[in-house]
Amino acid sequence: MVPTHTLNPSHSIYQIAHPSDSPLGLYLHVPFCLARCHFCSFYLQVYRTENVQKYVMALEGEIQLYADLLQLQATPIATIYFGGGTPTILTADQLSRIGNLIRSTYHVIPEAEITIEAHPASVTSSYLHQLLEAGFNRISFGIQSTSDSELIQLGGRNQTTQIAMAITQAQAAGFSNINIDVMYGLPGQTLETWTSTLHDILAFSPQHISCYALTIEEGTRFAIDQRRGKFKEHDGDIQVAMEEFACNAFTTAGYQHYELSNFSQPGFQCRHNMQYWQGGSYLGLGPSAQSCLGLTRFGNVADLDRYCEEIESQSLPIRNYELLEREQALRESIVLGLRMIQGVPLDLVNTIHACSDWQILVPQLIENGLLEQASGHLRLTTRGHRFADTVAVTLW
Ligand code: SF4
């Protein structure tokens, strides 16, 4: 059964449906940090206690609003992800209260993956124990590098001693599903310092590693520095060497390369992100959070004050609502699915292949050595991994 709910009268343009028996991922955006890192373009505010209190009340309101409007009591919630920003800027009591509200109003399955992004300097041993008690079973540390001079270039939010202490304390507290984010192509980074970062993080044996190239986003300190000639990106060959070096280091250490930028020990793929890459539905709560429910895509207003005001007046703070045609939704989910190393089942690709421009484009991409067919799937070739964005733009 697919219930369709028309939201309150002021939002009657939104027709949001979700198959009640297919699992849903829940994302909660916590838009606060102590300071902005030099590469970060996420929507966030510098931490102020009164704003956090206001935000928590509004978030609880939004959780309740969706529970009523979409009848989410019947929908299995398989993953919950607190991202940001810095979710660990909230007190353990605030996080626990939000978690309890979700559990009492939505149907969270017992084996749900519940992740919190954490800033190493913002956690203590007792806080980590409280997170476990609050139900979090996965923690993700955005450390980026273990070189103090590179960390200063990024904005000085982390120090290597804090990183080591936070990860060790999380393991000692009982977290058995830990992710570490690292980044290559940083200013001042060399193959030697990158090797050293990889060596340091592998020494912690995290269950999961996300490894991204630095991209310079508009509005960031790095973009300003680049325009002023103070910051020069690494040339492509070094970036490729860093990427290949990391891939070899992780796979040699027993990690599975399961998504373009993600590696895990067997059985520890990030189930929440798989929901994005495999065309599943997810509901994003909090300012600027994005949602995909069936054929609908929408995002929340990226403004804390507006978000709080609209929730207070019982309105959904939705912007950029889009209802897709079935074929476009399928195209998008296949293009995203190509981020998975195993690719996308050919059966699925063939449902639009036969009656669209893909009939020409897919064979061309295969001929150019960017896509291949293997084990009943269409997937990027090893060379195609480097040109994944080009493939995505071609097929979008
Ligand atoms: S901690 Fe994360 S969200 Fe906060 S400013 Fe740095 S990169 Fe952005």
Residue-wise pLDDT for 267-319, tens only, equals: 999 999 999 999 899 999 999 999 999 889 999 999 999 999 999 999 999 99
Nearest residue (CA) to ligand 1, atom 7: 40
Question: Which two structure tokens, joined as six digits, stand for 124?
Answer: 């203590």
Render 141-159 in DSSP notation, one character per residue. Answer: EEEE-S-HHHHHHHTS---
pLDDT value of position 40: 93
Q: Which two tokens stand for residue 70?
A: 């979409």
Residue 141 alpha carbon to ligand 1 centre in Å: 11
Name, in order, each residue with C-beta under 8 angstroms of 164's C-beta and a sequence gap of 6 or more.
Answer: none
Domains in the chain: boundaries = 4-277, 326-396
DSSP 51-99: HHHHHHHHHHHHHHHHHHHHTGGGSEEEEEEEEES-GGGS-HHHHHHHH
C-alpha torsion sign, points 294, 296, 297, 300? negative
What is the CB-side half-sphere exposure of residue 159 using CA atoms within 13 A? 4
Residue nearest atom 6 in ligand 1 by C-alpha distance:
37
| Higher local confidence (pLDDT), 197 or 228 | 197
Q: Point out which residues pair with 82 in neighbouring strands.
A: 28, 116
Read off the pLDDT of residues 318-368 as tens digits, 9 standing for 90 and up: 998 999 998 888 899 999 999 999 999 999 888 876 667 888 999 999 999
Pocket test for ligand 1, best of 33, 162, 210 (most atoms within 8 A of CB): 33
Q: What is the pLDDT of residue 1?
A: 34
Class of domain 4-277: alpha beta
Mean pLDDT of the chain: 91
Residue 33 CA: nearest ligand 1 atom is 4
- Mutation to probe ligand 1, out of 34, 37, 220 (largest number of atoms < 8 A from CB): 37
Q: 255 or 69: which carries more pLDDT confidence?
A: 255
Q: Of 3.30.70, 1.10.600, 1.10.10, 1.10.540, which CATH number belongs to 326-396? A: 1.10.10
Pocket lined around ligand 1, Cβ cut-off 6 Å: 33, 36-37, 40, 42, 44, 84-86, 119, 142, 157
Alpha-carbon span 29 to 286, nearest angstrom: 5
Note the pLDDT tens digit of each residue in 83-104.
Answer: 999 999 999 999 999 999 999 9
**Looking at ligand 1, which atom is closest to the CA of residue 154?**
6
For 146-186, what is each residue's pLDDT tens digit?
Answer: 999 999 999 877 788 999 999 999 999 999 999 999 999 99
Q: Which distant-in-sequence residues (6+ apart) come within 8 Å of 7 by Cβ?
A: 14, 16, 69, 316
Q: So what's the pLDDT on residue 364?
A: 95
Q: In terms of residues, how long is the chain? A: 396
